């Protein structure tokens, strides 16, 4: 199975080359890959599933584990089968597109990710493919990225799904932490561990967030209709059978784990129902083919969530049946819509009429899939709807919602699939004509599917749907034929059709009616989302302007403030010890201090003060020099002649440099405002105090250290030198010195370069 | 192990010296730089092989027994970092051969780069706190010079802030080292580790630890010390920015990890929550900065800050998985971030622009470049199957296991914002058609540019591939990171390697 | 004794920080220089101040008597002093050059790159 | 600053300072002094010269570009370390040989002294490169 998935990615990489070679025929040739996968999965279905595992990152619990059960295979077959049709279709639809190769690259990469997602048997592996579908679909939706609309739609889709994806990731990490394993098939077993665990609700909410964003549930639905900016084949593929069904798949997969969780079920039922109504109503109000289909897709996804939320055997069975039916007819309708658009250059349903004569084959396909969507017997859509009704009857409220949705489905089906082909032809931008086979064959195939399975529902049940349902529930079901649903269900279906027909004829009035709801648009989730993003960017800008303001002294203030705030508390925490040290020190100070040392201290103090206060640069530099020479004297007094000499010469050179450098600079500017100054004074003071305390703390220990003894013992005998400091510099710790002279060299080169390398146009060589 | 431990320092240092002596002929310097960086990679590989096989290795430089001389130590972390550093060095040098202007070459670009590499490796390998200071200074000095090299106004403005804040850091570092010696009486890290454990009053050592937190925090661009980075990183040529982002902040992070695992792990209850908090804030402020900017390199610069937060978060969690995540993330980040800067450099070369409003059309014009960027960007945003995802996953798992839910949440939110700012670049610079009046980046306009870009794409492609491989090969990489982490948590091996079997 | 020099160290740090917080680039340089002196004196003090003899082994002796000053801090400081000199020199060159390009000594006017 | 006395004083000071620096370098291993101070004193000799006459004159007195001094100094230091490496010992390990002096005594010569000499050269080159550059900054690249 790993190979099956990888073949998809391999095909993606090869696609551009094939495209370059095959030209017009590309679609047909490339379709061989998904077609082959389709057959492969059929074989797996016959074999009753398969398992394969390979380690990836065991430390993290990530493994390339794949498992094909009924549910996975249902999805896999849809993905590969419809994938093949879409491949053929887009070969014709985009035949003269300059970047057809890239198109197939993205398409196959997406298909492969989708297959991986439904076959994965490992939490993290599932997530990895989940994210892969997110950004491959991003590339598909934004395929025409020269248009602003496409870019925006693609970005929105990516961000919404990615946000959900991160919620999902968080949920999965917590889940894995609780259950202690990341295998999906093992999950059902660990349901016990989760029961009554504090993190349970969090996990449920996070997983649902992931599923809802991906499957465009209200209020996260808005990216889906916008994603119609994608070329039609992509829309057909993403929104009929794949991308948006990933969330549904996740919910189905997780069903055994949360079978008895109230939050899980209510969440699904409520949001599913809301999505169904919202999507249906918005769909009825559309006039453009693709948008109408998009909203009806949203509604359909609502139905599936709703059914999985109910979670009874019947409901799950109905869910998979409806899922299958929807995949067939929705893909068909999208493809037909695309064909019509392609052939006439017209997308507005109000200006499409009487195309049946011009494009009979397309019309035939359209009629069948549309009627299947409407739920007209004997098409499979009818069977599926029977199952659905039977499943929801238990609760009147849910039933009402479902029926209402079904009515709107009838409307949409007739409006998109039937109306444009009947009546008197209108003239369209392009003269209507039957498009090339690659455009009418795929929809026709899907229509045939809807028709065929309508006649043999039992066969389909046994072969595919019941195993799928079993995959969801974790136990197998008894086959349930039509007879199971009583007359009530049948009556409802009939009524749905009649009333739906009525709504269809009244659709213009309905649209007008719904037009009145524009007032609500500020509250539309999409606007809220956009406002949220804008707010985020604004806040980001505000905080960045606030802290990254460009004033060096502001930065330094924060740094030193942090220094004090980090060290002072520790010193306070150990104040007794610090106190003891201070005490002993002050005593020793009184006893041992000598006169010239006090004088030296005063000299230092005065000259330091002078450096701060001098009004002219040269005076300040002179004061700095005094400080330096004071240091040298200290070194002499406390047994460090080498230091004294070095310090003395260096100080001299430094002063010369300072004079050379400041020669050009203007006089000191007037000091900043007093408020600042007092603040600075406080900060500087506290830094000084902290450092002084730390020095005392350090000097508290007994010396000389073991190192000191070792050096003075071995300096002569092993280091051949009586000046221990020098021996340390050139032998014991010569590496320090090496680094140090490197610093010097770099400093010199740097200074030279800074002074003499000038950018072009500013004199000097470039 | 004497030779493999010394060469990663010695090779580039010698190369730098040779380049200094060859200051009259840039051509010769290019040759030396290329050869040396190749040799450097080999040396690093040898070191890694030795450590992977034989465990922690140590050599007493100038032959004096520890703790009296200076010890070079290589555990897995150090070895991995040296390899990463050498690899980046090679990429940078190759890129520079095609990208750099004559002026900078004449004024010592190559010696500075090689010295920087040497210093970085010295910092990774040294087992002595003061020697670490010295290598930090070498690194800083080289970076100062590189930052200002070229003398354009933004460079100088940025350099002033960069230099000042980093000199403050050095002063704090130096003070910390001095106080530590005064208090504990040794400079050797392993010896310090022992001394701290057996110290009479470890409490006050925490205060010293805080000094190091500040010093390394500034180097690593941790909140609230990172301001120098967004102020300066976008001003020099992007290849220099790439070099910095690859190594400088990472050395700071490395020093934090080293010191706060080996030496200052006596007061975890106090120090590591602080570190964790800083890490969280760093992630957030950094990525918000990135979200608010519309300049290609500036966005990347803020991202460096944000991701230092991730790395330090691993340290703050202080569990094997956390440290492993930190190590993995650090290497991943070195690769990816360097690559993004290099891509930005190509974009600038093609259009002469870095601002997103004036960039565009790169996806149509340069699909290969676009692909490389896309891989790196998605990897940075932590999307699978690239390296970033596994680093993020490891850190999240670690946070969940240790029950740090706040930082867990922050990390998740931050990765969303990261994705946002990356797609911002992608949408504007690559998808959007080239804006009016901007030069068309498509090939064939200027053969010289095309040739240069072709050369610059070599390292870019290589790095993108590495990021992908680190994802696909996440298993072994994570295993390696975990081994490194376990070495960090068990100080015994390190101490014994330095002070001999008797110790610890 | 340590108290006295600890006070001096504190003074050096305080003065250095205070100067760093000014707008004038010259004061910032002076501040950094003071900070450097502070760090050196800090090492010297923390390393244990003794009015002892220099760590130089007398003619004929094999090792320095126990009451000599600790040589290690001296070596460290010597390194630090020289490094400090190099850095300061570079900084001066940088400021010099910056002043040619942006004729001001007010760092507040050097905020172009952040925003 | 270019009074005649100062110049003539410099003429005498210059060689004295150079000698002093050599002495400091030589005796550095046993008495206060060493590579740093030696180098710095030598450098200050040239600086004095530059102050008395002008930098161009001082450069001429130095007769080669400071960068060569820097490079050679570093190379010398590195080489003194590599000796140990070649002998299979760690980098920078010291090696000593006793050279009999004409006077009958023996002088211990070793790689650390080589190292110190390298330090000295490096320091001279660095100080001079920096100071000359700063002094000549108005003249443009030499």
What SS3 class is residue D2? coil
Angle (CA) B342 A162 B364, round 5°? 45
A407 pLDDT higher than 80: yes
A706 pLDDT higher than 90: no
The pLDDT of residue A703: 64
Residue B172 C-alpha from the chain's centroid: 21
**Among residues of chain C, what percentage have pLDDT more than 70?**
99
Residue C113 near residue A550 (C-beta atoms within 8 A):
yes
Interchain proximity C93–D126, CB inside 8 Å: no
Environment class of residue D29 by beta-carbon count within 10 Å: exposed (0-12), middle (13-18) or buried (19+)? buried
A458 pLDDT higher than 80: yes
Lowest mean pLDDT among A432-446, A700-714, B142-156: A700-714
Most confident of A410-424, A720-734, D126-140: A720-734
Of B1, B123, B64, the closest CA to residue B499 belongs to B64
The pLDDT of residue A420: 87
Q: Looking at the DSSP assignment, which residues form a beta bridge with residue A57?
A: A62
**pLDDT per position as a tens digit, A512-567:** 777 656 555 656 788 888 889 999 999 998 888 888 888 888 899 999 999 999 99
User: What Rg value do the Cα atoms of chain B yield, rounded?
Assistant: 22
Residue C26 near residue A668 (C-beta atoms within 8 A):
yes
**pLDDT per position as a tens digit, B335-386:** 999 999 999 999 998 888 888 888 888 888 899 999 999 999 999 999 988 9
A670 pLDDT higher than 70: no
A71 pLDDT higher than 60: yes
Q: Give the Cα separation of B141 and B119 in Å (integer).
A: 10
**What distances in angstroms separate CA A47 from CA A34, A35, A42, A765, one per listed residue?**
20, 19, 9, 77
**pLDDT per position as a tens digit, A345-397:** 888 888 888 888 888 888 999 999 999 999 888 889 998 998 999 888 888 88
Of A300, A250, A260, the closest CA to residue A278 belongs to A300
- A554 in contact with chain C, both atoms CB, cutoff 8 A: no
**What's the mean pLDDT in B422-442?**
87
| DSSP string across B398-460 | HHHHHT-HHHHHHHHHHHHHHHHHHHHHIIIIIISPPPTTSPP-STTS-HHHHHHHHHHHHHH
Interchain proximity A734–D112, CB inside 8 Å: yes
Residue A381 near residue A450 (C-beta atoms within 8 A):
yes
- The C-alpha torsion from A222 through A224 and A225 to A229, rounded to 10°, is 120
The pLDDT of residue A203: 92
Torsions phi, psi for B501 (to 5 deg): -60, -30
Interchain proximity B68–A174, CB inside 8 Å: no
What SS3 class is residue D18? helix
Nearest CA in chain A to D108: A720
Tokens of A604: 């230092």
Helices (H), A142-231: 148-179, 191-194, 200-214, 223-226
What ipTM score was computed for the predicted complex, to two decimals?
Answer: 0.95
Q: Subunits touching C (CB < 8 Å, at least 3 pairs)?
A: A, B, D
Q: Give the Cα separation of A325 and A460 in Å (integer).
A: 11
Angle between helices B2-21 and A734-756 (to 10 degrees): 30
Which residues, 6 or more positions from B469, have their beta carbon under 8 angstroms from its beta carbon? none
Q: Give the Cα separation of D110 and D106 in Å (integer).
A: 13
- B107 in contact with chain A, both atoms CB, cutoff 8 A: yes
**Alpha carbons within 13 A on the beta-carbon side of B322:** 26
A764 pLDDT higher than 60: no
**What's the mean pLDDT in B58-69?**
90
**Among residues of chain B, what percentage have pLDDT more than 90?**
75
Q: Give the Cα separation of A435 and B483 in Å (integer).
A: 62
If pLDDT is split at 50, 70 and 90, which confidence band does A763 have? Answer: very low
A723 pLDDT higher than 70: yes
Of D3, D125, D124, the closest CA to residue D52 belongs to D3
If pLDDT is split at 50, 70 and 90, which confidence band does A247 have? Answer: very high
**What's the mean pLDDT in A194-221?**
90
Chain D nearest CA to B25, separation (Å) = 13
Q: Give the Cα separation of A744 and A695 in Å (integer).
A: 28
A493 pLDDT higher than 70: yes
B240 pLDDT higher than 70: yes
Helices (H), B221-366: 228-232, 238-262, 268-292, 296-317, 320-351, 362-365
Interchain proximity B178–C98, CB inside 8 Å: no
If pLDDT is split at 50, 70 and 90, which confidence band does A765 have? Answer: very low
The pLDDT of residue D141: 63
Helices (H), B185-237: 189-197, 202-220, 228-232
**Among residues of chain A, what percentage have pLDDT more than 70?**
93
**pLDDT per position as a tens digit, A260-291:** 888 999 999 999 999 999 998 888 888 888 88
The pLDDT of residue A521: 60
Q: Looking at the DSSP assignment, which residues form a beta bridge with residue D110?
A: D96
Interchain proximity A711–B68, CB inside 8 Å: yes
Q: Give the Cα separation of B332 and B466 in Å (integer).
A: 9
Each residue's pLDDT tens digit in chain C (115 positions)?
Answer: 778 888 999 999 999 999 999 888 888 999 999 999 999 999 999 887 777 788 888 888 888 887 788 899 999 999 999 999 999 999 999 988 888 888 777 777 777 777 6
The pLDDT of residue D99: 82
If pLDDT is split at 50, 70 and 90, which confidence band does A676 have? Answer: low
**What's the mean pLDDT in B214-225?**
93
The pLDDT of residue A591: 64
A484 pLDDT higher than 60: no
**pLDDT per position as a tens digit, B92-140:** 999 999 988 888 888 889 999 999 999 999 999 999 999 999 999 999 9
Which residues, 6 or more positions from C69, have their beta carbon under 8 angstroms from its beta carbon? A638, A639, A640, C48, C50, C52, C53, C54, C55
**Among residues of chain B, what percentage have pLDDT more than 70?**
99
The pLDDT of residue D118: 94
A23 pLDDT higher than 80: no
Tokens of B116: 């920087």
Most confident of A475-484, A496-505, B41-50, B225-234: B41-50
Of B335, B365, B353, B382, the closest CA to residue B430 belongs to B365
B vs C: CB pairs below 8 A: 105
**What's the mean pLDDT in B325-330?**
96
Residue whose pair of structure tokens reads 């601002």 in the numeric block = B355
Torsions phi, psi for A260 (to 5 deg): -115, 30
A482 pLDDT higher than 50: no
The pLDDT of residue A16: 84
Of A212, A167, A176, the closest CA to residue A194 belongs to A176
The pLDDT of residue B307: 93
| DSSP string across B84-142 | HHHHHHHHHHHHHHHH--HHHHHTTHHHHHHHHHHHHHHHHHB-BHHHHHHHHHHHHHH
Mean per-residue pLDDT over chain B, rounded: 92
Q: Looking at the DSSP assignment, which residues form a beta bridge with residue B355?
A: B295
A146 pLDDT higher than 70: yes
Nearest CA in chain D to C93: D134
Tokens of B107: 């004024």
The pLDDT of residue B241: 93
Environment class of residue D2 by beta-carbon count within 10 Å: exposed (0-12), middle (13-18) or buried (19+)? exposed
Q: Give the Cα separation of B469 and B379 in Å (integer).
A: 11
Tokens of A160: 């919404």
Q: Give the Cα separation of B213 and A669 in Å (integer).
A: 35
Scanning A73-112 for CB atoms below 8 A from B yields: 102
Q: Give the Cα separation of D60 and D57 in Å (integer).
A: 5
Nearest CA in chain A to D110: A720
If pLDDT is split at 50, 70 and 90, which confidence band does B420 have? Answer: very high
Chain A nearest CA to C35, separation (Å) = 10
Which residues, 6 or more positions from B309, have their beta carbon under 8 angstroms from its beta carbon? B222, B223, B279, B280, B281, B282, B283, B284, B286, B414
B324 pLDDT higher than 90: yes
The pLDDT of residue D60: 87
Interchain proximity A738–D81, CB inside 8 Å: yes
A43 pLDDT higher than 60: yes
Which residues, 6 or more positions from A534, have their beta carbon under 8 angstroms from its beta carbon? none
Q: Give the Cα separation of A92 and A27 in Å (integer).
A: 7
Q: Give the Cα separation of A481 and A484 in Å (integer).
A: 6
Of A59, A70, A56, the closest CA to residue A126 belongs to A56
Residue whose pair of structure tokens reads 């004449």 in the numeric block = B106
The pLDDT of residue B58: 93
DSSP structure class, residue A252: H
Scanning D65-94 for CB atoms below 8 A from B yields: 65, 67-68, 70-72, 74-75, 78, 81-82, 84-85, 88-94
Long-range contacts of A428-432 (CB under 8 A, 24+ apart): A428/A344, A428/A345, A428/A346, A428/A351, A428/A352, A429/A344, A429/A345, A429/A346, A430/A343, A430/A344, A430/A345, A430/A346, A432/A343, A432/A344, A432/A355, A432/A358, A432/A359
Nearest by CB to D28, from A726, A741, A748: name it: A726
Cβ-based neighbour number of residue A55 at 10 Å: 10
Torsions phi, psi for D107 (to 5 deg): -115, 130
What SS3 class is residue D110? strand
Nearest by CB to A687, from C13, C22, C61: name it: C13
Cβ-based neighbour number of residue B170 at 10 Å: 24
């Amino acid at each position: 199975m790993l190979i099956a998935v990888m073949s998809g990615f391999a095909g993606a990489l090869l696609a551009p080359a094939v495209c370059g070679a095959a030209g017009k025929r590309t679609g047909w040739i490339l379709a061989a890959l998904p077609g082959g996968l389709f057959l492969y999965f059929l074989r797996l279905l016959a074999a009753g599933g398969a398992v394969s595992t390979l380690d990836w990152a065991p430390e993290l619990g990530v493994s390339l584990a794949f498992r094909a059960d009924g549910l996975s295979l249902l999805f896999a077959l849809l993905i590969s089968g419809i994938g093949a049709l879409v491949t053929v279709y887009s070969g014709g639809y985009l035949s003269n597109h300059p970047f057809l190769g890239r198109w197939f690259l993205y398409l196959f990469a997406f298909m492969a990710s989708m297959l991986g997602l439904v076959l994965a048997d490992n939490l993290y592996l599932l997530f990895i493919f989940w994210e892969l579908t997110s950004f491959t679909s991003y590339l598909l939706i934004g395929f025409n990225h020269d248009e602003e609309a496409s870019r925006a739609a693609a970005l929105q889709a990516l961000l919404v799904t990615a946000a959900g994806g991160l919620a999902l990731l968080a949920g999965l990490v917590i889940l894995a932490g609780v259950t202690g394993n990341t295998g999906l098939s093992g999950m059902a077993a660990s349901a016990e561990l989760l029961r009554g665990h504090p993190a349970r609700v969090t996990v449920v909410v996070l997983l649902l967030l992931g599923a809802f964003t991906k499957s465009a549930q209200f209020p996260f639905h808005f990216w889906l209709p916008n994603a119609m900016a994608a070329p039609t084949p992509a829309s057909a593929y993403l929104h009929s059978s794949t991308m948006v069904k990933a969330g549904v798949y996740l919910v189905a997969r997780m069903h055994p784990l949360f079978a008895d969780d109230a939050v899980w079920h209510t969440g699904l039922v409520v949001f599913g129902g809301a999505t169904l109504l919202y999507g249906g109503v918005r769909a009825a109000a559309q006039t453009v083919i693709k948008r109408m289909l998009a909203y009806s897709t949203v509604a359909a996804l609502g139905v599936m969530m709703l059914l999985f939320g109910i979670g009874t055997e019947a409901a799950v069975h109905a869910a998979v049946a409806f899922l299958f039916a929807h995949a067939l007819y929705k893909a068909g309708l999208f493809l037909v819509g695309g064909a019509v658009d392609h052939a006439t250059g017209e997308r507005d349903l109000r200006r499409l009429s009487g195309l049946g004569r011009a494009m009979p084959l397309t019309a035939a396909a359209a009629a069948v899939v549309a009627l299947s969507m409407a739920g007209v017997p004997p098409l499979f859509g009818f069977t599926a709807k029977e199952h659905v009704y039977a499943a929801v009857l238990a609760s009147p409220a849910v039933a009402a919602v479902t029926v209402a949705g079904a009515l709107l489905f009838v409307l949409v089906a007739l409006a998109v699939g039937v109306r444009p082909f009947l009546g008197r032809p209108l003239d369209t931008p392009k003269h209507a004509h039957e498009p090339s086979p690659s455009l009418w064959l795929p929809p026709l195939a899907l229509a045939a599917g809807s028709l065929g399975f309508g006649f043999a529902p039992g066969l389909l049940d046994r072969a595919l749907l019941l195993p799928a349902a079993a995959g969801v529930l974790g136990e197998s079901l008894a086959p349930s034929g039509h007879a199971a649903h009583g007359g009530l269900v049948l009556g409802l279906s009939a009524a749905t059709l009649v009333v739906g027909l009525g709504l269809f004829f009244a659709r213009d009035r309905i649209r007008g009616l719904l037009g009145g709801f524009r007032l609500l648009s500020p509250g539309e989730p999409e606007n809220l989302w956009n406002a949220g993003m804008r707010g985020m960017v604004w806040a980001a800008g505000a905080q960045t302007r606030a802290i990254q303001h460009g004033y060096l002294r502001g930065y330094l203030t924060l740094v030193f403030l942090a220094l004090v705030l980090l060290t002072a508390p520790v010193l306070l925490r150990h104040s007794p010890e610090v106190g003891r040290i201070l005490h002993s020190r002050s005593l020793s100070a009184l006893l041992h201090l000598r006169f010239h040392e006090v004088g030296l201290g005063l000299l230092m103090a005065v000259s330091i003060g002078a450096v701060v206060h001098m009004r002219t640069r040269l005076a300040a530099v002179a004061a700095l020099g005094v400080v330096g020479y004071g240091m040298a004297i200290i070194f002499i007094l406390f047994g460090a002649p080498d230091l004294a000499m070095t310090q003395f010469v260096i100080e001299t050179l430094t002063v010369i440099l300072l004079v050379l450098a400041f020669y050009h600079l203007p006089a000191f500017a007037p000091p900043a405002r007093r408020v600042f100054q007092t603040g600075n004074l406080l900060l500087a003071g506290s830094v000084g105090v902290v450092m002084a305390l730390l020095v005392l703390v350090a000097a508290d220990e007994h010396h000389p250290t073991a190192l000191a003894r070792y050096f003075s013992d071995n300096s002569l005998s092993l280091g051949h030198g009586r000046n221990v400091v020098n021996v340390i510099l050139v032998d014991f710790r010569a590496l320090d010195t090496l680094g140090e002279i490197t610093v010097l060299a770099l400093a010199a080169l740097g200074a030279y370069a800074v002074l003499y390398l000038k950018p072009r146009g500013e004199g000097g060589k470039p | 192990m004497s030779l493999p431990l010394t060469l990663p320092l010695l090779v580039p240092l010698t190369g730098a010296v040779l380049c200094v002596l060859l200051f009259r002929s840039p051509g010769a310097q290019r040759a030396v730089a290329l050869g040396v960086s190749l040799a450097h990679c080999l040396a690093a590989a040898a070191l890694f092989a030795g450590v992977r096989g034989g465990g922690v290795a140590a050599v007493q430089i100038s032959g004096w027994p520890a703790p009296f001389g200076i010890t070079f130590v290589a555990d897995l972390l150090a070895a991995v970092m040296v390899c990463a550093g050498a690899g980046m060095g090679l990429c940078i040098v190759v890129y520079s051969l095609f990208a750099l202007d004559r002026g900078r070459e004449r004024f010592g670009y190559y010696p500075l780069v090689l010295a920087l590499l040497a210093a970085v490796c010295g910092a990774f390998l040294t087992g002595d706190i003061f020697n670490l200071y010295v290598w930090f200074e070498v690194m800083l000095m080289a970076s100062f010079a590189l930052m200002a090299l070229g003398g354009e106004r933004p460079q100088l403005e940025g350099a002033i802030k960069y230099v000042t804040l980093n000199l403050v850091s050095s002063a704090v570092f130096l003070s910390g080292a001095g106080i530590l010696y005064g208090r504990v009486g040794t400079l050797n890290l392993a010896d310090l580790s022992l001394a701290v454990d057996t110290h009479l009053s470890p409490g006050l050592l925490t205060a010293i630890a805080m000094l190091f937190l500040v010093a390394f925090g500034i180097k690593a661009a941790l909140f609230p010390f990172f301001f120098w980075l967004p102020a300066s990183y976008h001003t020099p040529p992007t290849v220099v920015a790439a070099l910095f982002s690859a190594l400088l902040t990472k050395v700071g992070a490395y020093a934090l990890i080293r010191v706060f695992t080996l030496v200052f792990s006596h007061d975890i209850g106090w120090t590591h929550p602080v570190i964790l908090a800083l890490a969280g804030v760093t992630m957030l402020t950094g990525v918000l900065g990135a979200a608010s900017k519309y300049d290609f390199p500036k966005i990347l610069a803020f991202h460096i800050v944000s991701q230092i937060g991730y790395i330090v978060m691993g340290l703050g969690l202080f569990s094997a998985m956390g440290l492993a995540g930190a190590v993995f993330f650090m290497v991943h980040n070195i690769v990816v971030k360097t690559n993004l800067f290099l891509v930005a450099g190509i974009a600038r070369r093609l259009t002469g622009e870095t601002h997103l409003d004036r960039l565009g059309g790169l996806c149509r014009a340069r699909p290969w470049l676009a692909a490389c960027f896309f891989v790196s960007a998605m990897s940075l945003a932590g999307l699978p199957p690239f390296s970033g995802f596994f680093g993020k996953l490891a850190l999240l798992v670690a946070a969940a296991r240790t029950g740090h839910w706040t930082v867990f949440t922050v990390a998740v939110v931050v990765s969303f914002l990261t994705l946002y700012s990356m797609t911002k670049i992608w949408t504007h610079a690559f998808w959007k058609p080239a804006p009016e009046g901007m030069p068309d980046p498509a090939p064939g306009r200027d053969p010289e540019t095309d040739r240069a870009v072709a050369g610059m794409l070599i390292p870019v492609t290589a790095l993108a591939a590495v990021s992908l491989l680190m994802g696909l090969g996440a298993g072994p990489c994570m295993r390696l990171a975990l081994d490194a982490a376990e070495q960090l948590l068990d100080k015994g091996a390190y101490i014994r390697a330095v002070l001999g079997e008797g110790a610890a | 004794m340590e108290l006295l020099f600890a006070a001096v160290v504190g003074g050096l740090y305080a003065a250095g920080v205070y100067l760093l917080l000014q707008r004038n680039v010259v004061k910032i340089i002076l501040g950094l220089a003071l900070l450097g002196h502070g760090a050196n004196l800090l090492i010297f003090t923390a390393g244990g101040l003794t009015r002892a003899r220099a760590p130089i082994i007398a003619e004929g002796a094999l090792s320095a008597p126990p009451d000599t000053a600790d040589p290690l801090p001296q070596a460290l400081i010597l390194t630090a002093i020289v490094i400090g000199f190099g850095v300061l020199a570079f900084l001066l060159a940088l400021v010099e050059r910056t002043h040619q390009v942006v004729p001001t000594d007010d760092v507040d006017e050097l905020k172009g790159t952040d925003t | 600053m270019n009074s005649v006395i100062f110049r003539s004083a410099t003429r005498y000071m210059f060689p004295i300072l150079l000698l002093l620096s050599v002495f400091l370098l030589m005796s550095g291993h046993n008495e206060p002094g060493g590579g740093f101070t030696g180098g710095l004193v030598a450098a200050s000799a040239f600086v004095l010269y530059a102050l008395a006459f002008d930098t161009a004159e001082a450069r001429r007195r130095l007769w080669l570009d400071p960068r060569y001094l820097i490079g050679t100094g570093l190379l010398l230091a590195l080489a003194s370390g590599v000796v140990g490496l070649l002998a299979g010992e760690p980098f920078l390990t010291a090696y000593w040989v006793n050279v009999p002096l004409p006077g009958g005594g023996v002088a211990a010569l070793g790689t650390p002294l080589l190292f110190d000499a390298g330090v000295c050269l490096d320091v001279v080159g660095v100080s001079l490169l920096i100071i000359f550059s700063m002094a000549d900054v108005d003249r443009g690249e030499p």
